[in-house]
Amino acid sequence: MAALALKCVGKWGAVARGVDVVGWRSWRRGAVGQTGVLEVGNKQKKTTERGRRVDNVMPRTRLSARVPLPPTLASLGSGSSGLGVGDTRKIHTATARTLFRLRPLPILLATGGGYAGYRQYEKYRERELEKLGLEIPPKLAGHWEVALYKSVPTRLLSRAWGRLNQVELPHWLRRPVYSLYIWTFGVNMKEAAVEDLHHYRNLSEFFRRKLKPQARPVSGVHSVISPSDGKILNFGQVKNCEVEQVKGVTYSLESFLGPRTFMEDLPFPPASSRDSFRNQLVTREGNELYHCVIYLAPGDYHCFHSPTDWTVSHRRHFPGSLMSVNPGMARWIKELFCHNERVVLTGDWKHGFFSLTAVGATNVGSIRIYFDRDLHTNSPRYSKGSYNDFSFVTHANKEGVPMRKGEHLGEFNLGSTIVLIFEAPKDFNFRLKAGQKIRFGEALGSL
């Protein structure tokens, strides 16, 4: 009985395989009837309407199988156009290739058109709200959107961009490349110390070009000047330990500056741990804490200077992401500046606490502080949430690094963001408007 069962199983397996083989080979050879079905029975031979004979490899079986064919092939085979087997095969191949090529196109067009239309609608809506004098409500990204954005290897891309910037360009290629950049981002080369484009050997030198001394006169009257060229994103008093990166979108002051251990290097009396973080930074009665955010576009002057006379006592480097910091992203991602890599310089000026923070961005992994040779940004590896502290207060220099107003402080490899957080009396007044363009040396505010 066991032998008989095995024999039956083997026979039925051969039958099934035979049906599949015959059906597939006959389909590929064009053996198609009007019904679009290939029949395999117990006959020795079977002839289709086109006269092509199909050999039956299982003459002793009584199994009849139907192998369904695609409607397109069935209609081609049943037509009376007189096409041969080779012509049918060519039509089938060409049709399949055409459909494969055309299917993604409508999807891409519909997706791209829909997104472009949505963006145009959003811009139109913002313009109408601005005309009416109404505030544009921010649309913040969700946690999964931020996580998805942070998964993009922006640090790796920024390092690759940095290496590309160091490649020396041929002499004949410099003018076309730099001219395209100047035209795209509206760079004013008349302000550059060296206007000859052939002088800059690579893109990095062009980005970090120096200005003519008379191009940026430093205001001597006002207390605080702009440390760089850029656009004012936001400014005002720090309230409830929150700082506004743009109107309506805030970030935590403590998350941005980190733990208050840097205050050990400041010449202030120690604050109580029970006080709020803001109150720990305000060292004098009657003073308030102020902030100002300046965005540097790719076409702006990339160096930054000291905004006032002050002393730098501590540096804190936060490795992090390198997401874009343009105004649109600042309105979309909450605590954007806390996610990104940044270098925080803290110290004091005549009215108390003062800090300047250089925030990195996509393709701006390189942040350089001229007097800090130990600073290395955009390292390949770092621990999430970590930071590196360095004190400029030593036995030889107990005060720190003194900086004069307008003195060169550092540079970016491309546009980014400068954040000022400082203590000042209550009668300090900003001379700014949100969204206005500003240049290095112009007044931010005064007493």
Which of these is catalytic: 291, 305, 317, 339?
Answer: 305
Residue 37 contacts by C-beta under 8 Å, 6 or more apart in sequence?
66, 67, 68, 69
Size (the chain), residues? 447
Other C-beta atoms closer than 10 Å to the C-beta of 52 total: 14
pLDDT number for residue 107: 66
* Residue spans of the chain under pLDDT 50: 1-67, 69, 72-81, 273-274
Q: Output phi, psi for 123, to 5 deg.
A: -65, -40
pLDDT number for residue 49: 43
Residue 235 host element (H or E): strand 230-237
Tokens of 59: 């003459």
pLDDT number for residue 141: 76
d(CA 294, CA 296): 7
Per the annotation, the verdict on 306 as an active-site residue is no
Q: Is the pTM of this model over 0.75?
A: no
Q: 11 near 58, Cβ under 8 Å?
A: no
Per the annotation, the verdict on 199 as an active-site residue is no
Q: Output phi, psi for 428, to 5 deg.
A: -70, 135
Q: 446 near 429, Cβ under 8 Å?
A: yes
Per the annotation, the verdict on 20 as an active-site residue is no
Identity of the residue numbered 320: G
d(CA 117, CA 103): 22
pLDDT number for residue 22: 43
Other C-beta atoms closer than 10 Å to the C-beta of 285 total: 5
Cβ burial of 301 (10 Å; 0-12, 13-18, 19+) is: buried
Provide, for the chain, the percentages of residues in helix, strand and coil under a 3-state DSSP scheme, each rounded to the nearest 5: 35, 25, 40
Tokens of 192: 């550059």
d(CA 291, CA 207): 27
Rounded to the nearest 5 degrees, what angle is found at the Cα of 110, between the Cα atoms of 97 and 106? Answer: 10
- Nearest Cα to Cα of residue 283 among 369, 222, 351, 346: 351
Instruction: Report the relative pairing of strands 443-446 and 429-430 from DSSP bridges.
Output: antiparallel
Which of these is catalytic: 158, 229, 321, 355?
Answer: 229
Which of these is catalytic: 204, 226, 228, 416?
Answer: 416
Q: 140 near 246, Cβ under 8 Å?
A: no
